[in-house]
Amino acid sequence: MRMRLSLVIVALSASCGSKTSAPQDAGADLAFADDGGIDGGSNACQWSGAPGTCISTTSCAAMPGYTSEPGSCPGPTTIQCCIVTPSVANNPPTPTGYKLMQQSMVTPEMTTWAVMILNDPVTYPMFSTTTMTFGAQPVLARVEWHPPDFNNSAIHRGVTLYIPG
């Protein structure tokens, strides 16, 4: 059973100008230039830890497989962070040598650790991993897309815990 930490992230992390990968589409660059160049030409952004590019919502909508997300880009509301559309199908396979941790094995300390990771999309962007040992139990945490659940009506950022297997 996969541990799903499904917290609503109220304040989305903005890091326009940071060194992140962005959609590589000549049309996106052209559309951005047409939008007025927002912060001096630096258009990289992150939304919930997913790398993207600050471009017009119209330009992003014209790119199949991409979605505009608000709150991470300077300028008018028509400029948003264009990211690869969140999908659980984009999650990497289970890390080699690990298996999903059963919910019954998750301690309150592990939950606190996972929530800290969840709430820090700059340090822990999408698909990043980190490990910690709790007593004698090594645990690997990976940030992944989680499907809708009782707390979230859409695909959302979550932390999955794994143990050596």
Q: Tell me the pLDDT tens digit for each residue of 56-96.
A: 999 999 999 999 999 999 999 999 999 999 999 999 999 99
Query: What are the tokens at 136?
Result: 């004698």
Is the predicted pLDDT of residue 159 greater than 50, yes or no? Answer: yes
Residue 132 is predicted with a pLDDT of 98
Q: Position 123: which residue type?
A: T
When pLDDT is cut at 50, 70 and 90, the band that residue 19 belongs to is: very low
Residue 59 is predicted with a pLDDT of 96
Classify each residue of 58-88 as buried b or exposed e, where b means 16 or more C-beta atoms within 10 Å of its C-beta.
ebbeebeebbbbeebbeeeeebbbbbbbbee
Residue 24 is predicted with a pLDDT of 33
Dihedral pair phi/psi, residue 53, rounded to 5°: -135, 135
Residue 40 is predicted with a pLDDT of 40
Is the predicted pLDDT of residue 130 greater than 70, yes or no? Answer: yes
Instruction: Measure the CA–CA gap between 79 and 104, rounded to whole angstroms.
Output: 44
For the segment 85-127, what is each residue's pLDDT rounded down to a tens digit? 999 999 999 999 999 999 999 999 999 999 999 999 999 999 9
Instruction: Measure the CA–CA gap between 125 and 47, rounded to whole angstroms.
Output: 9
Is the predicted pLDDT of residue 36 greater than 90, yes or no? Answer: no
Residue 87 is predicted with a pLDDT of 94
SS3 category, 157: strand
Q: Where are the domains positioned within the chain?
A: 89-164
Residue 7 is predicted with a pLDDT of 32
SS3 category, 116: helix
User: Which of 55, 83, 59, 79 has its CA nearest to residue 157?
Assistant: 83
